[in-house]
Amino acid sequence: MWLKPSSLTLAFSVLGSILILFLAVPVLLLYLTTPVESMLGIPYDEEAVRAVLLSLLAATTSTGISLLFGIPLAFILARYTFSSKSFVEAVVDLPLVIPHSVAGIAVLVAYSSRSTVGGLLNNLGIVIEDSFWGIVAAMTFVSATILINAARDGFQAVDREYEHVARTLGAPLHRVFFSVYLPLSFKPILSGAIMTWARAMSEVGAILVVAYFPKIAPILIVDRFMNYGLAASQPIACTLLTISIAIFMVLRFLARRR
Amino acid sequence: MLRLEHVSRRWSEFSVEDACLDCSRGEYFVVMGPTGAGKTLLLQLIAGIYYPESGKIFINGRDVTFHPPEKRNVGYVPQNYALFPHLNVHDNIAYGLKFKGYSKPEIEKTVREIAEHLEIGSLLQRNVETLSGGEQQRVALARALAVNPLILLLDEPLSALDSKTRENLRGYLRRINRVFRVTVVHVTHDLVEAVSLADRMAVMSRGRILQVDRPEQILTRPSSPFIAEFTGSINVFRGYATPRENMTEIRVSSLSLWAAGSRRGEVTAVVRPESILLAKQHPQTSARNVFRGTVVGVEPRGAVYAVTIATNSGLTFTSYITRSALLELELRRGDQVYLFFKASEVHML
């Protein structure tokens, strides 16, 4: 038997569909209006290939850094209360509200070779301006928040009684972390990492300021669009979109399976 | 074995105030009190999950007041059992053994042995989320017992189970206590559960331990009005038990109560008010205990009504019935009624 949908369900479905179309149509049209032969030429476009590989490498490195430093921070935030906690949480969320160009300027002011910290980094051979590490720094600045919050929520959702039982069974806290907290928060951390990676991949504004060179794919697209127009930027845009979607889907699939 | 000296701690809205306890090896010790009395906090202080603000805790003569849980050698079974959902039954039981430095074959052997003992040998490869409440309970007990703890701490172990499973597991907990010779500290809000399991028990209210004694003493000589009110909520009889017809007959003045099991000698028998049913006519029932009496009082008691009935032999029973049952029976003071309950509802101490 068919139940007549309520007017609310109907109205919401219509409104929702309009938004879905608004989101899906540009992506679809990008594929439909890009000549296939122009995309087939991308593997021979050395600059484009280099840019795409650089994007992938920088986004993955940035996500790795977010995981390495973000998971411990998330655990502390999830498990402990301390006086400066809300301040720390505000700092974590801050990059979300800063315009990306401003974020780029801020990173440059803080970590360029002329700054104090930048000077120290310089001694270690790490230069931020127009370098791979500059790209990674900008990506991490705009994306780490996602990972930290996802991991914190994941840790918070773990029943504390698991820890209590594990401790009485003889596990010190660091073993409890690896044998109980981490496996039980694996899914939220993995999906957080995927979103962090996707965010890093898509960043342009901050990187434009910090490290225009070497050109990552999104910047190369902007570059081609500004200099040669829409048609010239479309093939590489399409390629980047395809790669991003493919990786995103594979990771999502893996995340669901676990 | 376990000694608490003037232990105090506040945590959130709960508190333990000036708690003093002394449990001997192999004792089944029950801490009973209403919700919010601080029973769980007391258990967690013993486990080392929280540290006291003042006072001392000794286990086996060793001052463990500020030792972390992993250095105390206690088994803890929380109310929700907290079985690790990412591990199967086998790996749950084996969890603690890794930290004891057991080799792989030793772990296997211990897990199998303990699973046999607790009759969960067939569940080892099962996902813990597919287990029934009673099975989860057994796995949680097996996991705690596997590391051979000095003390087993049980937080409301029977409250999440249906009444039949609860009945089975009660005997099971006593057996574990005897077979593993482990000191048990069992927390509950259920007086009948407490008195039918405990060697000794403590009654707690608002963070304070009011009385520590054998269940018979608590029932017959409550030390405070609070405990008297608590113990007044169940039917308590002293009598002489004789095994008969695969059951036990308990002579209480001129009445015979029938109880499941076999016992001889002086006993204290308790019956929950909610286990006693009422009827105006002689009931068609398999219940062994059927008595006639006069209603001497009907009083609202929260969601139910407490009906007090005096039998012709001079014993008084209290039965809890619902409002609709009360209306249906049209009970008034002075009415003649039959009260009846099963032999399995009579708990002998």
Helix axes B39-47, A160-168, angle to 10 degrees: 40
- Summarised one tens digit per residue, pLDDT across range A78-136 is 999 999 999 999 999 999 999 999 999 999 999 998 899 988 988 888 898 899 999 99
Is B100 in Cβ contact with A183 (below 8 Å)? no
Residue B340: its pLDDT value, please? Answer: 93
Nearest to B100 among A165, A170, A172 (CB): A170
Residue A103: its pLDDT value, please? Answer: 94
Nearest CA in chain B to A161: B82
* Strand partners of residue B300: B305
Q: Which of A180, A173, A168, A175 is nearest to B152 (CA)?
A: A168
Is B143 in Cβ contact with A169 (below 8 Å)? yes
Residue B222: its pLDDT value, please? Answer: 81
Q: Which residues contact A193 (CB under 8 A, 6 or more apart)?
A: A63, A66, A67, A147, A150
Cis, peptide link before residue A214, omega less than 30° from 0: yes
The alpha carbon of residue B165 and the mean position of all alpha carbons in its chain are separated, in whole angstroms, by 13
DSSP assignment string, A185-225: THHHHHHHHHHHHHHHHH--HHHHHH--SSPPHHHHHHHHH
Q: Is A162 on the interface with B (CB under 8 A)?
A: yes
Domains in chain A: ranges and CATH: 45-257 (1.10.3720.10)
- Summarised one tens digit per residue, pLDDT across range B63-92 is 999 999 999 999 999 999 999 999 999 999
Residue B190: its pLDDT value, please? Answer: 87
pLDDT band at A1; cut points 50, 70, 90: low
Q: Which residues contact B241 (CB under 8 A, 6 or more apart)?
A: B248, B249, B250, B259, B263, B264, B265, B266, B267, B348
Distance CA A223, CA A213 (A): 11
Nearest to B49 among A159, A164, A184 (CB): A164
Burial profile B138-154: b = 16 or more Cβ within 10 angstroms, e = fewer: bbbbbbbbbbebbbbbb
Residue A258: its pLDDT value, please? Answer: 60
Q: Which CATH superfamily is domain B2-229 in?
A: P-loop containing nucleotide triphosphate hydrolases (3.40.50.300)
Nearest CA in chain B to A173: B70
Q: Phi and psi at residue B292, in whole multiples of 5°? A: -110, 145
For residue A187, give how far its alpha carbon lies from the nearest alpha carbon of chain B (Å). Answer: 12
Q: Is A175 on the interface with B (CB under 8 A)?
A: yes
For residue B194, give how far its alpha carbon lies from the nearest alpha carbon of chain A (Å). Answer: 24
- Considering only the top CATH level, what class is B233-348? mainly beta
Residue B227: its pLDDT value, please? Answer: 85
Q: Which residues contact B173 (CB under 8 A, 6 or more apart)?
A: B28, B154, B157, B184, B186, B197
- Asked if residues A46 and A124 have their Cβ atoms less than 8 Å apart, the reply is no
Higher-scoring residue by pLDDT: B13, A71: A71
Residues 184-243 of A with CB under 8 A from B: 184
Q: Which residues contact A71 (CB under 8 A, 6 or more apart)?
A: A147, A151, A189
Strongest mean pLDDT among A139-153, A238-252, B162-176? A139-153
Which residues in chain A have their CB less than 8 angstroms from residue B70's CB? 167-172
CB pairs under 8 A between A and B: 66
Burial profile B291-311: b = 16 or more Cβ within 10 angstroms, e = fewer: bebebeeeeeeeebbbbbbeb
| Boundaries of every domain in chain B | 2-229, 233-348
Residue B103: its pLDDT value, please? Answer: 92
Low-confidence residues of chain B: pLDDT under 70: none
Is B82 in Cβ contact with A171 (below 8 Å)? no
- With left for phi above 0 and alpha for psi between -120 and 50, is residue B9 left, alpha or beta? beta
- Summarised one tens digit per residue, pLDDT across range A210-240 is 999 899 999 999 999 999 999 999 999 999 9
Distance CA B75, CA A95 (A): 46
Nearest CA in chain B to A186: B86
Cα B346 to Cα A151, B23, B259, distances in angstroms: 53, 28, 5
Is B74 in Cβ contact with A183 (below 8 Å)? no
- Give me the residue label for tokens 């009931």: B283
Nearest CA in chain A to B99: A170
